[in-house]
Amino acid sequence: MNFDFHLQRLLGRATCNLERGARLMPTARIRNIRGDSGCIRIGAHSIIRGELLTFAHGGKIEIGSWCYVGEGTRIWSASSVILGDRVLVAHGVNIFDNLTHPIDPAERHRQIKDIFTTGHPADINLDERPVLIEDDAWIGAGAFVMRGVRIGMRAIVAAGAVVTKDVPADTIVAGNPAAAVGSVNSG
């Protein structure tokens, strides 16, 4: 697909900034509810097949160069999600820097009511905490990366893992909750 096709497809609403050679594939979905195209940046030569979403009250997604975001993957930001360079995010991954809904049932009902009637609320607390995935990390298919997590350089998150704590550089984690099972350098 060429850039003009994608520009036409997305014309008339805030989307994202694509650097040289970056591509949104037909399965990509940009849901920039925040309404500021500058809050989603896709680095040079990166390929996006999944969904990138910013909430109305905030959010920033920065994807480095030569990254891949697989089909069915969701990156939802109300604070900040940053992927370094050469990060591989497989299919069906979920990366959230927030709770997505308030804990309190009355607040949660208000949020859903707003979404159903007027759109995402511009004033809400979802206990946001930034997510950082450093250069050369690999997030396996079906993994969950939760708010406040830092995944170090060259780390590998196994398929289906649920990451709730920081992952050191060069570490392989698996399971729910994810725990170290090996080292990238031990092979």
Length of the chain as a residue count: 187
Spatial contact of 151 and 145, defined as CB atoms under 8 Å apart? yes
Query: Is omega for the bond preceding 177 within 30 degrees of 0, making it cis?
Result: yes
CB proximity list for 176: less than 8 A, separation 6 or greater: 160, 161, 162
- Longest pairwise C-alpha distance within the chain: 54
Place of tokens 């905490």: 129
Burial 96-133 (b: 16+ CB within 10 A, else e): bbbbbebeeeeeeeebeebeeeeebbeebebebbbbbb
Return the active site residues. 101
CB proximity list for 80: less than 8 A, separation 6 or greater: 59, 60, 61, 62, 97, 130, 131
